[in-house]
Amino acid sequence: YSVTAEVSTAEPSDEGFAANLSFSYTDNPGKSFAAMGLSVGIGSCVVMDFLIRSELPEEVAAKAVSGLEKVIAEHFDAELQRLQNFHSWRVFVWENEVDQLPVLRLAVMLKPETSIDFVLKQLGVALRFHEMLVDLNCELHFSHSLTEMLESKKFTLDEKFGSGLSASIVVARKILVRLAEELQYCVEEKAAGANVEFEERKESYGWAHARTKDALEGKFKGAASADIQEMTITGYKEEPRTETDAQFAAKEASAAGWRRFVWRSVNLLRGGKASTMELSFRSVGELLFQSALARSLLPSWVTPDIVEQPGALATIWKRMTESITKHVNEHWATILAFEDIEQHARDDEERRRLEREAKMSNKERKRLAFLEEKRQLAEKLRKLGIETTDDLEEEEDLTQKPAEYARHLKEKQMGSERLLLETYEATWDAVCALHSVQVVSGGNKVLLALQGCDIFELLPQPMKSPPPPRYQQA
């Protein structure tokens, strides 16, 4: 079954922003993963490639990689570890397999059992994914680049912008029809079985309740109905009501509508071999605002002025970049103010420590030096993954000192914010655009290739990071 669709506005062109979505298959997934620079023993992965700036020194790219690794380890690693069948993540510099351009690659990898072909085999489906999805190719083209659209004060969407979208999908019609039917039958049979069981238990409860109530009322004549403990033999308990009758009816109607849509789609797929759709619009304004359905889907800030006035997009983007710059500068001011206060406090503590040591005996100095060596040794052993005994882990419990603990948390927060801002600067210096996104499962690959997605050229250039305070350098 083949589906072909085309949507275009006036004068589409290949010179501006472009995106291409495609599907491919390889018989040797292990070799493909190795060519991508990924770990062995994985089944699926999601890969994002950022295009590295031309003639970039290696140390600049290495700084960006190091910063991203620290940010992911601090803010995302714990959440990634909770993912089922998670394997590992990696940030590194590589050459893109398609065009051999240098890219900064971010990869999240899953275990072998996540391969879609392996999942289909476990479900008893004697087919591979590429036998069901034979071909997928979608292309989107803009007449202008993102930089020109968002920065030019003379650019008008209605007058100058042109775009084209074409899509082609080829699937194994008979196989998908059979699978869709079986899946839908399973869902409906499960729902019907649950409803039958519910009604049977409810009816049985009603009979037992009536018999029990009549017997108790006959035995305890004159007792209030509320004082008689009702007994049943079914164990049925009616679910607490969390929805009104109208809400429940709307939910049922929505489910019934979804089932009708699925069956209509299955019948369409069963009865046809090809579908073609072509839409053409004279301008962006006609595409967005002529149809009441399209207007209802737009956010409130999308108005006809955006497509009719010259430089409307540039004005909106300028306000956004100014807001980003303002927030970055405010964060730097907060960080530097805290670090200045913290440095003065540590200088005072160091001065008082030297004064105390000057009054100590040689024996006391040796004891403190020994304790410090023990602490440093325990820290080195922990970094090597070696467990240490309690006598080496004599760390101060700051939770028992609210003021010191609050100061420790504030220092950790400021350090995290500094790391984020420094990573933003390093990444902006190293990469210029989002180059591609790949989703790979076994031998199946879906690739989104982008051209002209210069997001880092559009973002404001970050300020030069101030040097860290002396206590962090130490």
Task: Give me the tens of pLDDT residue by residue for the chain, a chain 474 residues long.
Answer: 677 777 777 565 557 889 999 999 999 999 999 999 998 889 999 999 999 998 899 999 999 999 999 999 999 999 999 998 999 999 999 999 888 999 999 999 999 999 999 988 887 877 888 888 888 899 888 888 888 889 888 888 888 888 888 888 888 888 878 878 888 888 888 888 888 887 887 787 777 767 666 666 666 666 555 444 444 444 555 566 677 888 888 888 888 888 888 888 888 778 777 778 787 888 888 888 888 888 888 888 888 888 888 989 999 999 999 999 999 999 999 999 999 999 999 899 889 888 887 888 888 878 888 888 887 888 787 777 777 665 554 555 656 678 888 888 899 999 999 999 999 999 999 999 999 999 999 999 999 999 988 999 999 999 898 998 888 876
Q: Residue 36: phi, psi to the nearest 5?
A: -85, 0
Distance, CA of 230 to CA of 369 (rounded, Å): 76
Q: Which of helix, strand or coil describes residue 310? A: coil
pLDDT of residue 13: 59
The first and second tokens of residue 407, run together, are 């100061």
Laid out side by side, the sheet with 133-142 consists of: 86-95, 102-110, 44-52, 431-441, 444-451, 18-25, 133-142, 163-171, 2-8, 274-280
Distance, CA of 168 to CA of 135 (rounded, Å): 8
pLDDT of residue 182: 81
pLDDT of residue 214: 66
DSSP 414-451: HHHHHHHHHHHHHHHHHEEEEEEEEEEETTEEEEEEEE
**Helix or strand run (H / E) with residue 23:** strand 18-25
pLDDT of residue 69: 95
Token pair 């997001």 is found at: 455
Select from 467, 457, 452 the least CA-distant residue to 143: 452
DSSP state of 225: G
Q: Helices 245-271 and 173-219: crossing angle, nearest 10°?
A: 150
Distance, CA of 317 to CA of 319 (rounded, Å): 5
Distance, CA of 73 to CA of 267 (rounded, Å): 49
What's the N-to-C CA distance of the chain in angstroms?
Answer: 66
**Residue spans of alpha helices (H) in 359-401:** 362-383
Q: Helices 58-75 and 402-430: crossing angle, nearest 10°?
A: 140
Exposure of 152 in the CB half-sphere (CA atoms within 13 A): 14
**Whether 444 contacts 32, CB under 8 Å:** no
The first and second tokens of residue 422, run together, are 């420094």
The first and second tokens of residue 150, run together, are 């968002």
**Helix or strand run (H / E) with residue 86:** strand 86-95
Query: Looking at this protein, which amino acid is placed at residue 390?
Result: D
Distance, CA of 106 to CA of 437 (rounded, Å): 10
